[in-house]
Amino acid sequence: MTRLPVVILGAGPAGLAAAEAASANGQPVLLVDENPAPGGQIWRGGPPHWSDARAGRLWKALSARPQVKLLCGTRLVACGAPGTLLLDTDHGPRTLAWERLVICSGARELLLPFPGWTLPGVTGAGGMQALVKGGMPVAGKRVLVAGSGPLLLAVADTLQRSGAQVVAIAEHRSGAELARFGGRLALRHPAKLAQALRLFARLRRVPYLRGATVRAASGDERLLSAQLEQGGQVRDIECDFLACGFGLLPTLEIAGLFGCALAHGRVSVDLAQRTSIDGVWAAGESTGIGGVDKALAEGRIAGLAAAGMAASGAERRALASAQAFARLLAHSFAPTPAMRALCTPSTIVCRCEDVRAAELAPHASWRAAKLQTRAGMGACQGRVCGAACGFLYGWEAAGARPPVFPVSAACLASVAAP
């Protein structure tokens, strides 16, 4: 099997930047992504939907290089023999051999359980945005956006532009905490502040409630209203959708498959984005949540390094600034202990296997809870409840075992007999 010189897993901003940097000197590069089009989360939908000039520039450069190939609708599910990848594609399983690998697998949402969070109509904030970008009609629908962090503004903006009526944005952090965050942005990241102010201007008719937390979602067969607490007062807000965002978590399955060292819930990398495994680099949200600027800066450095080139001083400074913003985000919007109290004993925590908090609480570890209750053993393989239990009980969930995503029997058979 011919070894591909550079394989990039994930074609979001980090993967696209890595591919552009790695292929600049004629190096053959293969980009792999499970989505039907490149762009990752923020540039979801592919080139026809992109308004960000950076995405357009990257795509123009990549499209002009015949040595760059893109495989979409293709998911990495396992490693085969050493130096090979097992991919699940629309046309069946496929094995590839690689020399150097750049992991740009992005992030997923942290979903925290509260009464009613499994009702139809309740989604993650980013999940709701992804559905809308994928064409789900929301025109005229009343949507409450709740949780914490700047993603709430981006989601509310997408919803409003798609014709939804955003009834409010309920931000868990207090006005004083948000003012401190704004002050630090003004001092160190004025472009980010300007971006936030532009979003606020577009959302000027939407009430932005500070220190406000959704305590429960109610309805019979689907969501009818959400119970909102603010300043000790509780009120019901009628809505068709509740989009709740408590933050993002690095996606670690791919790095775990290759045995890359992890620390503090993210892939550990050095200054050249090199992981602990020879020939494997990582970039973007998988090395820590920081948004598109960090993904682009890290992707570029990882791509250069994978092609044997070094980053310039300006590229290093761009990365340092993006990483400082990432630290500020983590410090300002980490989930608070008060969010644990949202989960009552009767709240479902593992929604695949219908396991409630009262059944989980007596256990000492994730493993014990899994064995005794089946939590984490359903279709999502603990991707949702594993992180929730980590937050609720401090349990460390073991990484996913290969195949890291559900696959067809044909795909499994090809692992057994490559």
State yes or no: residue 42 binds ligand FAD (CB under 6 A). yes
State yes or no: residue 68 binds ligand FAD (CB under 6 A). no
Nearer to ligand FAD, 355 or 397 (CB): 397
DSSP symbols for 6-72? EEEE--SHHHHHHHHHHHTTS--EEEE-SSSSS-TTTTTT-GGG---HHHHHHHHHHHT-TTEEEE-
State yes or no: residue 107 binds ligand FAD (CB under 6 A). yes
State yes or no: residue 104 binds ligand FAD (CB under 6 A). yes
For residue 255, the minimal CB distance to ligand FAD (Å) is 10
CB atoms within 10 A of CB 83: 14
Please give the single-letter amino acid code of residue 210.
R
3-state secondary structure of 2: coil
State yes or no: residue 41 binds ligand FAD (CB under 6 A). yes
State yes or no: residue 80 binds ligand FAD (CB under 6 A). no
- Of 6, 11, 21, 375, the one binding ligand FAD by CB under 6 A: 11
State yes or no: residue 105 binds ligand FAD (CB under 6 A). yes
For residue 74, the minimal CB distance to ligand FAD (Å) is 6
Exposed / middle / buried, residue 385 (Cβ in 10 Å: 0-12, 13-18, 19+): buried
| Sheet of strand 233-238, all strands in order from the earlier edge strand to the far edge | 212-218, 225-230, 233-238
- Of 7, 19, 75, 209, the one binding ligand FAD by CB under 6 A: 75
Query: Who contacts 234 (Cβ-Cβ below 8 Å, separation ≥6)?
Result: 215, 227, 228
Look-up of token digits 């400082």 = 324
Query: Who contacts 220 (Cβ-Cβ below 8 Å, separation ≥6)?
Result: none
Nearer to ligand FAD, 29 or 254 (CB): 254
> For residues 176 and 199, what is the distance between their CA atoms, to the nearest angstrom?
20
# chain residues binding ligand FAD, by CB under 6 A: 36
Using the contact rule CB under 6 A, the part of the chain among 100-108, 212-220, 317-325, 377-385 near ligand FAD is 100-108
> For residues 104 and 109, what is the distance between their CA atoms, to the nearest angstrom?
16
For residue 213, the minimal CB distance to ligand FAD (Å) is 21
For residue 381, the minimal CB distance to ligand FAD (Å) is 13
> For residues 244 and 170, what is the distance between their CA atoms, to the nearest angstrom?
9
State yes or no: residue 108 binds ligand FAD (CB under 6 A). yes
Closest alpha carbon to 285 in 248, 337, 239:
248
Using the contact rule CB under 6 A, the part of the chain among 48-56, 127-135, 180-188, 307-315 near ligand FAD is 127-135
- Of 22, 32, 85, 375, the one binding ligand FAD by CB under 6 A: 32
> For residues 370 and 364, what is the distance between their CA atoms, to the nearest angstrom?
11
> For residues 297 and 319, what is the distance between their CA atoms, to the nearest angstrom?
5
Nearer to ligand FAD, 225 or 275 (CB): 275
Residues 271 to 300: which contact ligand FAD by CB under 6 A? 284-285, 291-292, 295
Helix (H) or strand (E) segment spanning residue 371:
helix 366-373
Using the contact rule CB under 6 A, the part of the chain among 30-38, 59-67, 314-322, 388-396 near ligand FAD is 30-38
Phi, psi of 162 (to 5 degrees): -95, 10
Nearer to ligand FAD, 105 or 213 (CB): 105
For residue 234, the minimal CB distance to ligand FAD (Å) is 29
Nearer to ligand FAD, 113 or 291 (CB): 291
Give CA 8 to chain center in angstroms: 17
For residue 200, the minimal CB distance to ligand FAD (Å) is 15
State yes or no: residue 76 binds ligand FAD (CB under 6 A). yes
Query: Who contacts 66 (Cβ-Cβ below 8 Å, separation ≥6)?
Result: none
Closest alpha carbon to 271 in 319, 329, 324:
319
For residue 353, the minimal CB distance to ligand FAD (Å) is 23
Nearer to ligand FAD, 80 or 291 (CB): 291
- Of 23, 27, 123, 129, the one binding ligand FAD by CB under 6 A: 129
State yes or no: residue 33 binds ligand FAD (CB under 6 A). yes
Q: Which residues bind ligand FAD (CB under 6 A)?
A: 9-15, 32-35, 40-42, 75-76, 104-109, 126-127, 129-130, 151, 154, 248, 251, 254, 284-285, 291-292, 295
